[in-house]
Amino acid sequence: MDLAEKQLTALNQLIEVVGSSNSFYKAKLEACQGMGGFESLEAFSERMPFTTKAEIAEDHKCNPPYGTNLSYPKGQYTRIHQTSGTTGQPIAWLDTQESWSWLLDNWKLIWKACGAKKGDVAMFPFSFGPFLGFWSAFEAAAQAGIRCIPAGGQTSLQRLQMINRYQPDWLCCTPTYALHLLSVAQKEGIDLSSGPVRRIIVGGEPGGSVPEVKSRIEEGWGGAKLFDHHGMTEVGPVTYSDPERPELLRAIHETYFIEVLDTESGKPTLPGDVGELILTTLGRAASPLIRYRTGDLVKPVPVEGEDPRAVAFEGGILGRSDDMVVVRGVNLYPSAIDAVIRSFDGIGEYQVHIDEKESMVQVAVTVENLSAAGDDELANQVQKRMREVFGLRIQIEIGESGSLPAFEMKAKRWNVSI
């Protein structure tokens, strides 16, 4: 059975469950004549309507607190998580024991693909809040025989001391926090380049697939190998760095049906063109998402030697469709700005401000100067690099060390007022 046949079988099994008991999707399936399943993946893509975050949010608002996208009685659900709320009000997401196990199986595949093995030690330096990714990564690692160190509720210095004490092989955090720990270690006189951490899995934000960010983290952590990962509370863990080609994010095609569509036409993109990632969770029948518009922008490329339907994403998650701004004809993505900023060793945190003045979109970037260079010198260097990369004159402002917010979880650096 090839990949398309496996996906179609899983899809129709999902439709059978959802069509009989999930009131959110039942009306959608009836409207597109999909109650009995679909004869092909192409027919599914042509007839099944999208699901949007706005729809989910409205459903939760009208049917609090969980909405109607539930395929089983509430008594069968054992976990509640919620989205981060970075693009709106946090949304609750429920899982049964079966759907939670499906999520963990996906994470275990990621751990294995990245080279983790039984007996390894992994540290998780983040607060264990209501977001799904932290818990699923931790529990999957434990089930895979990895010794797990929870490091929530600790200061950055305490976490560095735990690394020295427990000698973890792995670190799992956001790319921003991996960089922040390097900064704190430098201030405290701690040499992480000779430390125990040999592999780092990052996620929660773009950055892990940005070469400049990746190299800074790997060099600062003494040559530790960095793996990017991408997922969402709504859908679970979706991608991981290709071990052989780290510039690519590999998708888990066995458990997700993946489409990449042009944001304007809604048609499939050509290989190498940027489009929006559309996901269907084939194994999360308890609280599924079918043709979900993630808002994530990706550049799909074929995977050599594998099924034609298998794609990877070059450059990782480039940003979000609602974050991308057009400045004098140039498409500006958060990951592209991040790449330029992280090419300078002497910059700490930064913030991007985008607004409109006299009918012109203006971009200003504030950076923390941690270098020996003077403020004017650093500002001129960054502005010159921005012009070389984007062909735009971007205003650079300098802030003192520690003057900008530092982030443990998803960084919020992109401020748009247009």
Domain shared by 75 and 132, yes or no? no
Tell me how far apart the alpha carbons of residues 349 and 353 are, in angstroms, rounded to a whole number. Answer: 14
Domain shared by 227 and 127, yes or no? yes
What is the average pLDDT across 6-13? 98
- pLDDT tens across 277-299, in order? 999 999 999 999 999 999 999 99
**Structural domain ending residue among the three candidates 287, 320, 353:** 320
Domain shared by 144 and 217, yes or no? yes
Predicted pLDDT of residue 359: 63
Asked if the peptide bond before residue 206 counts as cis, ω within 30 degrees of 0, the response is no
Domain shared by 26 and 92, yes or no? yes
What is the average pLDDT across 147-171? 97
Domain shared by 93 and 125, yes or no? no
Whether pLDDT at 174 is above 60? yes
Percentage helix, strand, coil for the chain under 3-state DSSP, each rounded to 5: 35, 25, 40
Of the pLDDT bands very low, low, confident and very high (cuts 50, 70, 90), residue 115 is very high
Predicted pLDDT of residue 111: 98
Greatest alpha-carbon pair distance for the chain in Å reads 68
Show the domain range for 410: 325-417
Q: Determine, yes or no, domain membership for 108.
A: no
Higher pLDDT, 334 or 274: 274
Cα 240 to the center of its chain, rounded Å: 10
Whether pLDDT at 183 is above 70? yes
Residues ≥6 apart with Cβ < 8 Å to 16: 37
Predicted pLDDT of residue 210: 87
How large a percentage of the chain has pLDDT more than 70? 97
Three-class DSSP labels, 263-283: CCCCCECCCCCCEEEEEEECC
Domain shared by 90 and 150, yes or no? no
**Structural domain ending residue among the three candidates 288, 320, 352:** 320
Q: What is the sign, positive or negative, of the torsion defined by CA atoms of 118, 174, 130, 323?
A: negative
Residues ≥6 apart with Cβ < 8 Å to 99: 283, 284, 285, 286, 287
- pLDDT tens across 220-259, in order? 999 999 999 999 999 999 999 998 898 899 999 999 999 9
Tell me how far apart the alpha carbons of residues 346 and 395 are, in angstroms, rounded to a whole number. Answer: 18
Predicted pLDDT of residue 192: 96
Whether pLDDT at 25 is above 90? yes
CB atoms within 10 A of CB 112: 13
What is the average pLDDT across 187-212? 92
Domain shared by 126 and 223, yes or no? yes
Residues ≥6 apart with Cβ < 8 Å to 61: none
Mean pLDDT of the chain: 92
Domain shared by 273 and 333, yes or no? no
Three-class DSSP labels, 122-170: EEECCCCCCCHHHHHHHHHHHHCCCEEEECCCCCHHHHHHHHHHHCCCE
**Domain total of the chain:** 3
Whether pLDDT at 88 is above 70? no
Are residues 301 and 318 in contact, defined by beta-carbon separation less than 8 angstroms? no
Model-level pTM? Answer: 0.83
Of the pLDDT bands very low, low, confident and very high (cuts 50, 70, 90), residue 176 is confident
Ranges 1-10, 207-216, 278-287, 397-406: which has the least confidence: 397-406
CATH number of the domain to which 188 belongs: 3.40.50.12780
Predicted pLDDT of residue 372: 76
Whether pLDDT at 87 is above 70? no
- Token output for 178: 């991996």
Most confident of 5-14, 85-94, 121-130: 5-14
What is the average pLDDT across 191-201? 96
